[in-house]
A and B are shown apart, each in its own frame.
Chain A
Amino acid sequence: METPTLLGLYRDMWLIRAFEQGLEREFEKGNVPGMLHTGLGQEATQAALAWHLEATDTFFPDHRCHGINALAQQRHGGNGERIMAELFGKATGVCSGKGGSLHSADPAVGNFGDNAVEGSYMATVLGVALAAKMRGQRRVACAIIGDGTVGRGEFHESLNMAAIWDLPVLYACINNGYAISMPVGEGHASADIVDMVQGYGFECRQVDGNDVVEAWTAVGSAVEHIRSGAGPCFLEFKTWRWQGIFAGEFRPEAEVKYWKEERDPIMLGAEALGERGVDHAELDSIELGARDVIEEWIEFALESPAPDPDKATADVYVGWEVSSR
């Protein structure tokens, strides 16, 4: 990897972290309605995925993917602040505030939206991939899922159908160790998801999800493999989420300390850049730059108006109006 690429990924990781930390702060202040799931700790995987997906590809983000959504906007000519505004439920959001954190989509940048019934888009991704295949388009359809989704029937239906039809699907499984409170090894037949996927017979790899270089390289070769028409590919990113559960931290102190202090993907990225001779001042300015951008986005979201009341009943059907009260 060239140093400018690593610097770019480092910048992207900081954008994600600043986004999520800014969002946490605003959530605590009561400015963000609903629920909050952050991608803190998973920045390396998210930055790697966002880097390689083109606007003409498709991705289905999971509930911790605000960062990927924002990066897709930045890379493909959208506005990152519209992702922030969506989380605040504002008119300027990508879905005019109707979707929120769990349903932010912007097809213009390839973002086909989360489905808050975790993993339901394991089925939806098949259709996007099938359409691309039928039309002869070399496009990647990517489903970004957590380890919890492995328990869903649609997870297995999807892998099976992608295999028999050789569909251009990239399965990006972000194994952060827990499905809410259930440890991955207790909830599934194996704590290593790839063990369960291998039987479907297509390309399948486990990746260190906290090493941005390894993650970026793995996504790059998977995307190339899929674009060449070689069928689906499954990547399992081993990582760890910083956010606990709604009531707080529930994991052993030593585990929390290990992942936050020794395996922080941003810290690891800084070390790699340091070894290449990038100085601290440059790294610091990247962090500050990201924080400034996020403060602007939060300001934009706070100042944006609520959606027009007509939006409450707009677009229920294409062919019928639904009367308002």
Chain B
Amino acid sequence: MTAADTARPARKARTPRKPRDRVRKASFTQALNNALDLAMDKHAEMFLIGEDIAEMGGDFGVTKGLLAKYGPERVRDTPLSEAAIIGTCAGAAMVGMRPVAEIMFADFIAECYDQVVNNVAKLHYMFDGQFKAPLVIRTACGGGFGGGPHHSQSVEGWFLNVPGIVIVAPSNPIDAKGLLLASIDSDDPVLFLEHKALYRSRAEVPPEYYTTPLGAAAVAREGADVTVVAAMRMVPMALEAAERAAADGVSVEVVDLRTIRPYDAATVLASAAKTGRVVVANEAPRIGGLGAELSARISEECFAELRGPVVRVDGLDAPIPFSVPLEDIVLPGTDDIAAAISSAAQY
């Protein structure tokens, strides 16, 4: 305190702030917004591009306030032209820019699938390393809110078979920020999946610049009897199912993939070998999806350690209906993971 402060007339005593207010929790959306802000500040060659991201701040508010701070050249609204959005990112990246695109809903990526699969993912390879594609495609995916067949899909399976693309899929606000900053720093093209059901989840997100490594899974909960491998919204569901299983005396380990392609096989296989019982949980339809890949890989490489078959939890083999009771039938939930844990634990 300075002398001037002490000279002021005494004020009415205030209620002291609660200590927890100083570490206010940030939402997943705020964490992403903060990451974009920090990255725009760090990378002069970075720009944001997408539909309604500027004045409106994006359909989910992830780019809110960035137009005012960085201007319309670097926070760029587009018409409904998904292919042109991703093509613009690819071309700009070829000359050393670092664009971050928002595709409003992951379902709309079908509109620019050619750009992602045939252009962005192959730029570095097919031209013999002469170009890089340091771009990020952020998109809102996943169901559970009555969005219907074209606003609810989990699209990671559409890209699992595409060498050259990186698929990042955070499950919580702290990872969301660190993974987005790492994705923007990366010289590889990243498909960054933001599960809509997670946007409102909150955590104590460090305010400073930090990165969470790409291609590295996290053990979200340690356990000895059953491993659950999951990503995005399946992770909080798996943690809840693990809590229930603990009450029944089953110790569950939850592996959060965080990066889906290239995924951290070492962490997955080590956990599978340790517990010998594995559940893979995935929101997309079963056939040809992430669960199929993980199940096959674990079965191939941990055959001797497995006590029973790998159990898959997936969406049903159907589009996602609008009516919420129907959607609940099609999409997997905590009960399904809990049932799969019980099934795996029998062996």
Show the binding face of A for B, using Cβ within 8 Å: 58, 94-96, 98-99, 103, 105-107, 112-113, 115-117, 120-132, 134, 141, 153-154, 157-158, 160-161, 164, 311, 314-320, 322
Contact = CB atoms under 8 A, between A and B. Distances in A.
A319 B115 contact: no
Contacts of A96: 128
Interface in B159-216: 163-164, 166, 186-188, 214-215
Given A131-B95, A319-B214, A107 B83 contact: no
B47 interface: yes
B9 interface: no
A130 B125 contact: no
Nearest to B134: A318
6 contacts: A58-B95, A94-B128, A120-B118, A124-B94, A127-B97, A319-B187
B347 interface: no
Nearest to A125: B91
Given A157-B87, A161-B78, A311-B128, 11 more contacts: A98-B128, A120-B118, A123-B88, A125-B87, A126-B91, A127-B90, A129-B91, A154-B83, A317-B166, A318-B188, A320-B262
A91 to B, nearest CB: 10
A322 B124 CA distance: 13
Contacts of B97: 127, 131, 134
A317 B87 contact: no
Interface size of B as a range: 35 or more
A98 B87 contact: no
B127 A157 contact: no
B96 A131 contact: yes
B100 interface: no
B300 interface: no
B94 A127 contact: yes
Nearest to B78: A161
B89 A117 contact: no
Given A107-B131, A318-B124, A115 B83 contact: no
Contacts of A316: 124-125, 163-164
B132 interface: yes
B4 to A, nearest CB: 48
Contacts of A123: 83-84, 86-88, 90-91, 115
